[in-house]
Amino acid sequence: MHWVALALASALLSAAAAVAQKRTLFRVHALEFSFLVSAAVLLMSSFVPFTADVLALTPRAFAVLGVKSVVGGIAFLLVMLSLERNPISGALPLMGLTPAVTGVLAAALLGDHLRPVEWAGLGLMTAGAWALEASPRGGFWRPFAEVFGSGRYRFMLAAVLLFALSSVGDKLLVTGMKVPPNVVLFHQHVVYTAVFGVMLLVRRVPAAVVGRAAREHAPMVLAIAALTLGYRFFQLQATRTGPVALVLAVKRSSILFAGLSGGRLFAEQRLLPRVLGALCIVAAGFLFLGRE
């Protein structure tokens, strides 16, 4: 299958997963939910050790895989916390800011220079972020204050930074170290489940609470786990055969699909300007292709 089809399939499955996650997070705390989904994905991928040698990795590959998985797991939890507290049409499009954040950090810390097309992309992303919270009753600067200064989206903005690091790890593992995508997914969810399990222990969440959530929401958790496994597998497969920057740009269109469908499903306010903002952010991502 062509990498464009793989990346688009990943985007559609990711959008479906995000909408289902938002629906479930109305009734389950983000940490318990993250643990249950990770455990379900791990269960669904338990066949991998029987089809591939999951231990045939170099120490360096194990180290990269471990660090990347911890970072990705924390980022996933932060996204769930943000979706739990905010409308999906307002929070999820912020995931598309990753290339702009990467470019600005590289310019500030490494002395890189933004190309003219990247400045245009930065301007388009800024306009998109402004549109997410634009309101006739507020002043011009109010949307920026809501997105970046109010703390409402602090979890999502932190996740953007962590997912940028996790994506670098994916590319290094799948293309540089030639680790099969199914092996990466298996180890990743072993780490995810362990990290979230430790967090539950630290927070002293009773096992009965987790068990009750598992029983009451098992069908939705299993469906989300299947969608999660699917979109991550398709993304890794697309990264394996296509340019990583273009793969990420196509995959990022999931925020537009999820924002539109989720916003309509949950009857969220200001849906049109938020969808337009998401469209600007997705389009701007294509202008940062050389940076990713």
3-state secondary structure of 228: helix
Q: How far is 24 from 27, CA to CA, in rounded Å?
A: 6
pLDDT interval class at 80 (50, 70, 90) = very high
Token code pair at residue 238: 């697309």
* Confidence (pLDDT) at 77: 95
Q: What is the predicted pLDDT for the residue at 277? A: 93
Span 264-291, average pLDDT: 87
Please report which confidence band the pLDDT of residue 279 belongs to, taking 50, 70 and 90 as the band edges: very high
Tokens describing residue 283: 């389009």
The domain ranges of the chain are 3-291
More confident residue, 40 or 150: 40
How many Cα atoms are found within 13 Å in the side-chain-facing hemisphere of 26? 10
The first and second tokens of residue 85, run together, are 């507290």
pLDDT score at 161: 83
Does the pLDDT at position 292 exceed 60? no
Closest CA to 281 of 104, 159, 80, 98: 98
- How much is the pLDDT for 23? 93
Percent of the chain at pLDDT > 70 equals: 94
* 171-to-34, 275, 282 alpha-carbon distances in Å: 24, 30, 21
Instruction: Report the distance separating Cα 175 and Cα 150, nearest Å.
Output: 40
Tell me if 187 sits within 8 A of 67, measured CB to CB.
Answer: no
Give the pLDDT band of residue 145 (cuts 50, 70, 90): confident
Question: pLDDT at position 260, please?
Answer: 92
Cα distances (Å, whole numbers) of residue 160 to 125, 156, 261, 268: 14, 6, 22, 23
Q: Within a 10 A sphere around the Cβ of 243, how many other Cβ atoms?
A: 13
Angle at 51 between CA 220 and CA 198, to 5 degrees: 50
Higher pLDDT, 92 or 165: 92
Alpha helices in the chain (DSSP H): 3-24, 30-44, 48-51, 59-85, 88-91, 98-109, 116-132, 142-144, 154-171, 181-202, 207-216, 218-241, 244-251, 254-265, 271-285
Q: Give every CB contact of residue 228 below 8 A, 6+ residues apart in sequence.
A: 17, 37, 41
In this prediction, residue 14 has a pLDDT band, given cuts at 50, 70 and 90, of: very high
Please give the mean pLDDT across all residues of the chain.
Answer: 87
Q: Cα(87)–Cα(89) distance, rounded to whole angstroms?
A: 5
Say which residue the tokens 């970072």 belong to: 71
**Tens-digit pLDDT profile for residues 150-197:** 788 999 989 988 887 777 777 778 778 888 888 888 999 999 999 999
Contact indicator for 15, 243 with CB cutoff of 8 Å: no
DSSP state of 146: I
User: Is residue 110 pLDDT above 60, yes or no?
Assistant: no
Output the six-digit token pair for 192. 């995810």
CA 47-174-109 angle, to 5 degrees, is 135
Over residues 206-235, the pLDDT tens digits come to: 999 999 999 999 999 999 999 988 998 898
Residues in the chain: 292
**Cβ within 8 Å of residue 78, ≥6 positions away:** 155, 156, 158, 159, 162
User: What is the mean predicted confidence (pLDDT) over 225-250?
Assistant: 83
Is a pLDDT exceeding 90 seen at residue 19? yes
